[in-house]
């Protein structure tokens, strides 16, 4: 069974630029999560989808972050414009309903 796929693995941008990350969950997993993991901290949930609907985006900085999950499969997370403090690893995870979450390898973002 293929795992959660993410791309790109690494991204370096200047502050105020925009960036997008892509995630393809495990086939059949209806629930998809995006996390932000700042160096030295645990993952922080940004947004959770069930199929193509948002069920929790309470910690998403909506002035600059957006996410979508068209057709209830893959998802993109966008930052526009990026700030220095957005430097982090962005993790995508998926689960079958409320069962165990499986994580992708992450995208390491560096904002200069």
Which residues make up the interface to other proteins (CB under 8 A)?
4, 31, 33, 40-45, 48, 50, 55-56, 91, 93, 95, 98, 100-106, 108
* DSSP-assigned states of every residue in 6-71: EE-SEEEE-TT--EEEEEE--TT--EEEEEEE-TTS--EEEEEEETTEEEE-TTS-TTTEEEE-GG
Spatial separation of the C-alpha atoms in residues 3 and 103, rounded to whole Å: 8
Q: Judged by CB, which is closer to other proteins: 79, or 107?
A: 107
CB of 42 to other proteins, least distance (A): 4
Q: Judged by CB, which is closer to other proteins: 27, or 98?
A: 98
Q: Judged by CB, which is closer to other proteins: 16, or 68?
A: 68
């Amino acid at each position: 069974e293929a795992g959660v796929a993410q791309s790109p693995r690494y991204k370096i941008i200047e502050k105020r630029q925009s960036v997008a990350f892509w995630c393809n969950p495990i086939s059949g997993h209806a629930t998809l999560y995006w996390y932000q993991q700042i160096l030295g901290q645990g993952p922080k949930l940004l947004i959770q989808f069930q199929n193509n609907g948002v069920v929790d985006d309470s910690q998403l900085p909506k002035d600059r972050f957006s996410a979508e999950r068209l057709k209830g499969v893959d998802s993109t997370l966008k930052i526009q414009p990026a700030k220095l403090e957005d430097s982090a690893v962005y993790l995508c995870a998926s689960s079958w309903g409320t069962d165990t979450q499986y994580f992708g390898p992450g995208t390491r973002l560096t904002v200069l």
